[in-house]
């Protein structure tokens, strides 16, 4: 048995590495996609195109505008003179945020009244609009608090020391700078591994069937179990290699800290890759051509990434849709990889995710092997 399995493995590795394109696919795209997603996948916003319509032209209005000018989140591009210009620029997409300060802004502040600041935000991209609105609120509140304090200091300086105040002292754990890159890079490791292992496994088996070598293999002394193991074991090893490669690139290039134990991450990667091998093998049993395998893989990969919590919190989804996430192995692997990377937690915390991936892996491999046996027969 081991002699036949050894020859099967040699044959698979020769077939994989003799093709220049396949060799490039194993190393090139994972690194390139890690770099692309690492820079592009980002919830943070910087230099939002902003225009200002200041109809007050007072010291107070200029000070408020200067807070936006000096902020890294907004790029004040133009000072307008007409409100019609503001609407036209936002409608054409030349500006995302428009600030309008009406005449009498400073007079209301000096008399102790509320001075409105009109903010127009292009909400076509709701995420950018929501984050930008939060930054605008922080800048406006900071200006109002400082102006109120300066006013009281001029009128009744003795009240400054007895004024009650609440000081916010945020202490973000695990990600002190609130960098979204620290959230995305570990997730990219899981999503790229999913795509790579599924496509390689499904395409390799389907390619054997499509060119007719699958039937030739069946007339040899090799048993179906040995054939299945020989087809999946190389891609299991390739998956482990790519996980290690992408993890090293993500940690060294993007400076994402790894605070956990390598053994915990390795165990999670092994269980996750077994699940993906089961999915790839299952796809190969229901696909007659490589085009069908590609479409079927796409049908699984996109929902798997969506329901895994890679880019969107699962808790924000409707409850009936959250139930689908429990059968997605990537959901559990992302918890494992982010927990080991950022929190440094171990098996005492992550064992439910490990158990879930082990159960899903056994189920997927069992179903796919049974279907593959039937397809071979």
Structure tokens at 365: 């491999």
pLDDT at 144: 87
pLDDT at 286: 80
Identify the band that residue 322 occupies on the pLDDT scale cut at 50, 70 and 90.
confident
Question: What are the pLDDT digits (tens) for 224-247?
Answer: 666 777 777 888 888 888 888 888
- In the 3-class helix/strand/coil scheme, how is 5-27 assigned residue by residue? HHHHHHHHHHHHHCCHHHHHHHH
Domains and CATH numbers, the chain: 2-42+179-376 (no CATH), 48-159 (3.40.1710.10)
Residue 72 has pLDDT above 60, yes or no: yes
Burial of 199 (0-12, 13-18, 19+ CB in 10 A): buried
Name which residue leads in pLDDT, 100 or 224. Answer: 100
Name which residue leads in pLDDT, 124 or 371. Answer: 124
pLDDT at 335: 93
pLDDT at 318: 86
pLDDT at 215: 60
Question: What are the pLDDT digits (tens) for 28-41?
Answer: 777 787 787 777 77
Name which residue leads in pLDDT, 203 or 187. Answer: 187
Q: Report yes or no on whether pTM surpasses 0.85.
A: no
The Cα–Cα gap between 369 and 232 comes to 11
pLDDT at 355: 95
pLDDT at 334: 93
pLDDT at 17: 65
- In the 3-class helix/strand/coil scheme, how is the chain assigned residue by residue? CHHHHHHHHHHHHHHHHCCHHHHHHHHHHHHHHHHHHHHHCCCCCCCEEEEEEECCCCHHHHHHHHHHHCCCCEEEEEEECCHHHHHHHHHHCCCCEEEEECCCHHHHHHCCCCCCCEEEECCCCHHHHHHHHHHHHHHHHHHHHHHHHHHHHHHCHHHCCCCCCCCCCCCCCCCCCCCHHHHHHHHHHHHHHHHHHHHHHHHHHHHHHHHCHHHHHHCCCCCHHHHHHHHHHHHHHHHHHHHHHHHHHHHHHHCCCCCCCHHHHHHHHHHHHHHHHHHHHHHHHCCCCHHHHHHHHHHHHHHHHHCCCCCCCHHHCCHHHHHHHHHCHHHHHHHHHHHHHHHCCCHHHHHHHHHHHHHHHHHHHHHHHHHHHHHHC
Q: What is the mean pLDDT of residues 178-183?
A: 82
The Cα–Cα gap between 206 and 157 comes to 81
The Cα–Cα gap between 232 and 279 comes to 11
pLDDT at 211: 66
Identify the band that residue 6 occupies on the pLDDT scale cut at 50, 70 and 90.
low
Residue 1 has pLDDT above 60, yes or no: no
Identify the band that residue 221 occupies on the pLDDT scale cut at 50, 70 and 90.
low
Range in 68-82, 134-148, 174-188, 325-339 with the lowest mean pLDDT: 174-188
Residue 272 has pLDDT above 90, yes or no: yes
Average pLDDT across the chain, whole number: 82
Instruction: Tell me the CA distances in angstroms from 347 to 241, 358, 377, one per residue in order.
Output: 23, 14, 42
Question: Strand 74-80 to strand 97-101: parallel, antiparallel, or no bridges (unpaired)?
Answer: unpaired
The Cα–Cα gap between 329 and 360 comes to 7
């Amino acid at each position: 048995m081991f002699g036949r399995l050894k020859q099967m493995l040699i044959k698979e590795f020769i077939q994989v590495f003799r093709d220049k394109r396949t060799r490039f696919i194993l190393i090139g795209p994972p690194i390139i996609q890690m770099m692309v997603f690492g820079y592009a996948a980002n919830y943070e916003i910087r230099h939002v195109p902003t225009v200002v319509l200041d109809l007050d032209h007072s010291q107070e209005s200029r000070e408020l505008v200067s807070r936006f000018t000096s902020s890294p989140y907004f790029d004040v591009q133009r000072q307008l003179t007409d409100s019609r210009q503001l609407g036209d620029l936002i409608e054409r997409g030349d500006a995302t945020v428009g600030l309008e300060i009406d005449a009498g802004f400073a007079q209301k502040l000096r008399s102790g009244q509320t001075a409105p600041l009109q903010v127009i935000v292009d909400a076509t991209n709701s995420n950018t609009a929501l984050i930008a609105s939060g930054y605008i609120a922080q800048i406006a509140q900071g200006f109002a608090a400082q102006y109120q304090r300066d006013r009281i200091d001029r009128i009744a300086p003795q009240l400054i020391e007895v004024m009650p105040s609440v000081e916010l002292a945020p202490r973000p754990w695990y990600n002190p700078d609130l960098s979204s890159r620290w959230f995305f890079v570990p997730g990219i490791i899981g999503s790229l591994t999913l795509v790579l292992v599924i496509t390689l496994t499904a395409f390799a088996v389907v390619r054997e069937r499509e060119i007719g070598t699958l039937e030739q293999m069946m007339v040899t002394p090799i048993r179906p179990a040995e054939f299945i193991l020989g087809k999946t074991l190389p891609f299991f090893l390739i998956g482990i290699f790519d996980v290690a490669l992408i993890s090293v690139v993500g940690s060294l290039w993007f400076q994402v800290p790894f605070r956990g134990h390598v053994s915990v991450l390795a165990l999670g990667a092994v269980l996750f890759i077994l699940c993906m091998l089961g999915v790839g093998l299952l796809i190969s049993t229901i696909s007659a051509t490589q085009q069908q395998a590609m479409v079927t893989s796409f049908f699984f990969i996109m929902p798997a990434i969506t329901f895994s919590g890679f880019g969107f919190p699962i808790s924000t989804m409707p409850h009936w849709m959250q139930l689908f996430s429990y059968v997605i192995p990537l959901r559990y692997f992302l918890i494992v990889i982010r927990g080991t990377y950022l929190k440094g937690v171990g098996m005492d915390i992550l064992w439910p995710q490990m158990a879930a991936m082990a159960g899903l892996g056994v189920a997927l491999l069992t179903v796919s092997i049974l279907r593959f046996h039937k397809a071979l027969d």
